[in-house]
Each structure stands twice: as structure tokens, then as C-alpha cells.
Amino acid sequence: MSLSDNKAVVQKYFELLDDHADPEGARHLVTSHFAKHLNSLTETLQGFEAVRAAEAEALGEYPDKRVRIEMMLAEGDVVCALWTTTGTKASPPGAELKIHGTGIFRIEGNRIAEEWEFWDPTSPIKGH
């Protein structure tokens, strides 16, 4: 795959899963052994179902959650995405979320095999 193809896979993953356009549609973008490593958790999310469940939980807390990719860089089979997540907390209503983070994705056979996500879990929530 070309670097542009690798970046397109990551872009589509964000659109389908993180922006909740079609979370189930993101399944075909990851390998069967997909793993997501998060600096905010002590364990790795293994498999698409675990990642989808975590995203569903986030959507429950922030129903209007959106992720904007600020920049993507690619080298070989690795794509790095700098992103900003925003949303409004459902309860208590009105608390605004804004988190900046980085995702590093390893592409294997046109699919995402691993993701490393880094963000500051102490990011402020306005109005909270």
C-alpha cells in the first residue's frame, strides 16, 4: 500500500468509529488480531468488539462527540494522526470536553493491526 492509502484507512477509521458515522462499518478496517493500546488504561483493548464497546461508552457520555484530525504523517506501514476530540457531556449537561491527542497506527495488509493512543486524561472539562 502507498502512504496515501495507509492514511486513507486511518481517516476512514476515524470517520466511521470515532465520529460514530457507522461504528460497525469500521470492523472491515482492522485485522482480526487488532489491539488498541491507550496510555489512559493499564490494559490493552484486544479486538474490535472491545474497542467498539469503549467508543459506545464514550458516546453515551458525550453524545455529540466528534474527532477532528489536525495532521497525519505516514512512514512505511505506520501512520501518525494528531487529533482533537470535542463534545458536550450528557450528565451533568453542558460540560464541554476538548482533548488533544495522538494516535499511532500500524497498517498490515490494508488494515489497522495496532493503535497506540496518547492523550492527557487530566484534560479540563469546562463547566464541570
Helix (H) or strand (E) holding 9: helix 3-13
Largest CA distance in the chain: 45
- The CATH number of whichever domain residue 80 belongs to comes to 3.10.450.50
What is the value of pTM for the model shown? 0.88
Question: How many distinct structural domains can be found in the chain?
Answer: 1
Structural domain of 105: 3-126
pLDDT above 90 as % of the chain: 51
pLDDT tens, residue by residue, 56-85: 888 788 888 889 999 999 999 999 999 998
SS (H, E, C) 49-109: HHHHHHHHHHHHHCCCCEEEEEEEEEECCEEEEEEEEEEECCCCCCCEEEEEEEEEEEEEC
